Every structure is written in C-alpha cells, then in structure tokens.
Amino acid sequence: MRAMLLERPGEDLHLRTDLAVPHPGPHEVLIRVKACGVCRTDLHVRDGELEHPKLPLVPGHEIVGIVEARGSGITALQEGDRVGVPWLGWTCGECGFCRSGRENLCDRARFTGYQIDGGYAEFTLADERYCFPIPSGFDDIAAAPLLCAGLIGYRALKLAGVAKRLGLYGFGAAAHIAIQVARHRGQDVFAFTKPDDAAGQDFARSLGAVWAGGSDTAPPETLDAALIFAPVGALVPAALKATAKGGTIVCAGIHMSDIPSFPYRILWEERVLRSVANLTRQDGEEFLAIAGGIPVRTTTTPYPLSRANDALADLRSGRLEGAAVLTMQG
C-alpha cells in the first residue's frame, strides 16, 4: 500500500509505495482510508514538538474510511461500514482517570497518528471500540475535519461553560466548526485572526461572527469566555484582558509557545485559565450527533496523499481556509 511516512522528526514525510497492508489483531478492524484530515497536531509531531512518536510513523488522526476486514473479538462493526477514527486510539480502562469518566487523561492512553499508525495511508488499523459512525449527511472529505478539529472545539466549548459573548482566537479548522456549534447554541462569536488576515476575518464573518479582527485589537464588547486555537502563548494574556469577570479561557491546542508573564490583576476576579486535552468517546458521540443535526458545514481543501507535505506547509503558513484533507487518489 501507499503511505506517507515520518521517518525522522524535523524532516518532510516520505512517500512509500511498497508497504504491506497491515493485518487486524484482536478488537481491530482494517480500514480502507477514504479521507484523512490534516491537523495542527500533525505539524507538531512532524516538527518534533511532541516527544517520542512511534517511528517510522504514519501520521493522521482524522480518518474516514470503510471497514475492509475484521480481527477477532469484533462485536459492532461489519465489513463495508463507514467509520471515523479519532486521536484517542486506546485507553487502559483501569486507571483512576479512566474509572472517573476522564479517559481523555488516561495514564496509558495511545493516540492515533502518534503512538499508533494513522490515516496518511491507503489502509490503517483501528480498535473498533474507539471508532465512531459517521453521520450520513457528510461525504468522506467533509466528515474528516469533524474527527479532531470539530471534536476538540466541541470539548473546548463545553469547558468554556455558559457564555453569551465567545471569543475564538485563531480561525482555522477548529474555529470554523466551533462557530457553527456556538451560533446554534445562541452565542455571539468574536473571531480573532492574525492582524493582517483580512481573508480570514471575512471567512469568520461569512460564518456568522458578529465581529472579526486582528488579535492585536480589543473586541468591541467584553467577552464572557474565549477559546484559543492558535498555538501562540501571547494570546493568553490578550484573551484574559478581553474577558469579563468569572470568564473562562480555554487553550485548545496540544502545544503552544511560552506564555509571557502577566499581571495577576488580569486573572483576578475569578477568571479561569485552563487547557483541553484529547477527547472522550462520549464527546465524540455527542458532537457527531450535534454536527449531523445542525448540520455543520465544513470548508475543506483536498490534497492527494502524495502532497501531504504541501498540505502541512499550507497549514503552517495559514494559507488555508477551513481544513486540509488528504484523499487517496494520486
């Protein structure tokens, strides 16, 4: 089979055309990949900012595909079923986090496209217990960004609590889905982009932002909560300054540049600063039902598998509108 392999962090991925199709073990299904979203986390893995990846590694954790074969012990999935494979690939079920409904924090969790080979390939394996059915209203490419960008944005929205005026810092794949969920919940969204990104600000307004501007400007109204998707630590004090008493700031990325020191008074008055890590299967089930019901509309830029490096470069430079998605043609 063909796959794009990370052989050494810091280097481009390599196209391989001669890999063996993997064989499903217990609880695993073999999936013929139809589309795989490109997430900023893939860029952090590629750049070596996340330590100790499996090597060589097939990245990719926003996988949409068709079950092609089943290993032993499979109870739910059938050959031909369309499934989604997210970042959370396996948890122990035994640690204190797993036993308290927080499997996203499992001490022994394994993640797709990081410790487990992912979806930048024609075939991949996944534990059926961590796969999700894909709502029927989405084609394969449109569904791919739901599996991380959508899911993490949804978990971040939940953690931000009740907030009429919601700030979104960084308007990429995650924010363009989160705004649709937030608006469906009746929230007013204020979108922050890079200061000179007029196209990104137009995109945010086209999706219903009541205001869009550069992250170096103050919003016209005080925010009740903010989600930070851009991996830029300097946005943390900016978001705190823009947020009202009691408001929550959620850092939604897996990696961020250092946060500059800031005066205590901008955290004072019960503002909450927190991160969001990974997902639980319950998040996935809830979010996919909501996304199908609204329905969420994703904006995607498809790339053939062999151009995964170009997709990562475009994500890095911010040239993309919405989400990059790899397809298995070409």
Q: Which is nearer to Zn ion, 105 or 266 (CB)?
A: 105
Q: Which is nearer to Zn ion, 98 or 325 (CB)?
A: 98
Angle between helices 149-160 and 173-184 (to 10 degrees): 50
Q: Which is nearer to Zn ion, 109 or 179 (CB)?
A: 109
Q: Which is nearer to Zn ion, 93 or 263 (CB)?
A: 93
Cis before 219? omega within 30: no
Which residues in 198-237 contact Zn ion (CB under 5 A)?
none
Which residues in 87-146 contact Zn ion (CB under 5 A)?
91-92, 95, 98, 106
Q: How far is CA 232 from CA 25, 197, 202, 250, 258, in A?
A: 40, 16, 22, 13, 8
Q: Which is nearer to Zn ion, 42 or 122 (CB)?
A: 42
Shortest Å distance, C-beta 217 to Zn ion: 28
- Write out the DSSP string of 141-198: HHHGGGGTHHHHHHHHHHHH-S-SEEEEES-SHHHHHHHHHHHHTT-EEEEEE-TT-H
Shortest Å distance, C-beta 93 to Zn ion: 6
Shortest Å distance, C-beta 63 to Zn ion: 11
Which residues in 145-204 contact Zn ion (CB under 5 A)?
148
Q: Which is nearer to Zn ion, 148 or 226 (CB)?
A: 148
Count of residues near Zn ion by CB under 5 A: 8
Q: Is 276 in the site for Zn ion (CB under 5 A)?
A: no
Shortest Å distance, C-beta 202 to Zn ion: 25
Shortest Å distance, C-beta 86 to Zn ion: 8
Q: Point out which span in 25-33, 86-94, 225-233, 312-320 binds Zn ion (CB under 5 A).
A: 86-94
Look at the chain and count its residues.
Answer: 330
Phi, psi of 205 (to 5 degrees): -65, -35
Which residues in 11-40 contact Zn ion (CB under 5 A)?
39
Q: What tokens were used for 129?
A: 């217990």
Cβ–Cβ under 8 Å, residues 306 and 15: yes
**Ramachandran class of 10: left when φ > 0, alpha when ψ lies in -120 to 50, beta otherwise:** left
Which helix (H) or strand (E) segment holds residue 214: the answer is strand 211-214
Cis before 56? omega within 30: yes
Q: Which is nearer to Zn ion, 79 or 107 (CB)?
A: 107
Shortest Å distance, C-beta 58 to Zn ion: 15
Shortest Å distance, C-beta 80 to Zn ion: 27
Q: Which residues of this chain interact with Zn ion, rule CB under 5 A?
A: 39, 41, 91-92, 95, 98, 106, 148
